[in-house]
Chains A and B, each alone.
Chain A
Amino acid sequence: GAVVSQHPSWVICKSGTSVKIECRSLDFQATTMFWYRQFPKQSLMLMATSNEGSKATYEQGVEKDKFLINHASLTLSTLTVTSAHPEDSSFYICSAHFSSLQTQYFGPGTRLLVL
């Protein structure tokens, strides 16, 4: 149980285009999901907290107009990187909070390369 999926796992985009990453909790409902960014050989950097039915809460320094988050249902949150540029290339990981277990379960990550 407690499986979280992400799609796509790999995406290559041209500079200036937008890309959407989906995060789904497959066997539990999550009112709260999280989006992280991970640079090579570094720990996870929390970007935002995604709340079902309400606006996301962004961490300091994260542009909310650049990284659009929509948590439309209890099993799906999406991260859209708008007008992506090479500096947005990174490994993006989502997690879903399983409230009864008080535990975050992580997706497999999405590697974004912007050319």
Chain B
Amino acid sequence: AQSVTQLGSHVSVSEGALVLLRCNYSSSVPPYLFWYVQYPNQGLQLLLKYTSAATLVKGINGFEAEFKKSETSFHLTKPSAHMSDAAEYFCAVSEWCGSEKLVFGKGTKLTVNP
């Protein structure tokens, strides 16, 4: 079964600094990988997804993620953090090929300091 590990439940960066949120999946290659963002008291918003096309995926709000099979990783990055990026970020993988179910990581809370 797929599993997702998000290293660091809390990440704090300064405004303008690089954002790096880590996500590792279990050894078998997942069909699809996702990053979602959740603002307080809201649902999840899709940031980006990997679907076995380009390994570097660009998403909304300046975020991007790179699928690295050798490292079983799908880390989320943004070159310059903005105050509005403060939120909870969830990495998710599809359970298996053709599955509609997602397996979520525990989430990483991003704090952006002025």
B96 within 8 A of A: no
CA distance A109 to B38 in the complex (A): 11
State whether B43 touches A97 (Cβ < 8 A): no
State whether B104 touches A44 (Cβ < 8 A): yes
Kindly identify, within residues 75 to 115 of chain A, every residue whose CB is under 8 Å from any CB belonging to chain B. 91, 93, 95, 97, 99, 102-109, 111
State whether B94 touches A93 (Cβ < 8 A): no
User: In the complex, which residues of chain A have a beta carbon less than 8 angstroms from the beta carbon of B31?
Assistant: 102
State whether A93 touches B43 (Cβ < 8 A): yes
State whether B90 touches A43 (Cβ < 8 A): yes
Closest chain B residue to A4, Cβ basis: B43
Closest chain A residue to B49, Cβ basis: A103
User: In the complex, which residues of chain B have a beta carbon less than 8 angstroms from the beta carbon of A99?
Assistant: 100
State whether B43 touches A107 (Cβ < 8 A): yes
- Which range contains the number of B residues in contact with the other chain? 20 to 34
The smallest beta-carbon distance between A3 and chain B, in angstroms, is 11
- The A interface, classified by DSSP as helix, strand, loop or mixed, is strand
User: In the complex, which residues of chain A have a beta carbon less than 8 angstroms from the beta carbon of B42?
Assistant: 108-109
B67 within 8 A of A: no
User: In the complex, which residues of chain A have a beta carbon less than 8 angstroms from the beta carbon of B51?
Assistant: 102
Partner of B46, one of A41, A93, A105: A105
CA distance A104 to B103 in the complex (A): 12
The smallest beta-carbon distance between A42 and chain B, in angstroms, is 7
CA distance A104 to B47 in the complex (A): 12
State whether A32 touches B100 (Cβ < 8 A): yes
The 8 A CB mask of B23-58 against A (1 = contact, 0 = none) is: 000000001101010000111111001010000000
Residue contacts A-B, CB under 8 angstroms, 17 given: A6-B43, A34-B101, A42-B106, A43-B105, A43-B107, A44-B104, A93-B44, A102-B51, A102-B94, A103-B34, A104-B100, A105-B46, A106-B44, A108-B42, A108-B43, A109-B42, A109-B43
List the interface of chain A (C-beta within 8 A of B).
2, 4, 6, 32, 34, 41-44, 46, 49, 91, 93, 95, 97, 99, 102-109, 111
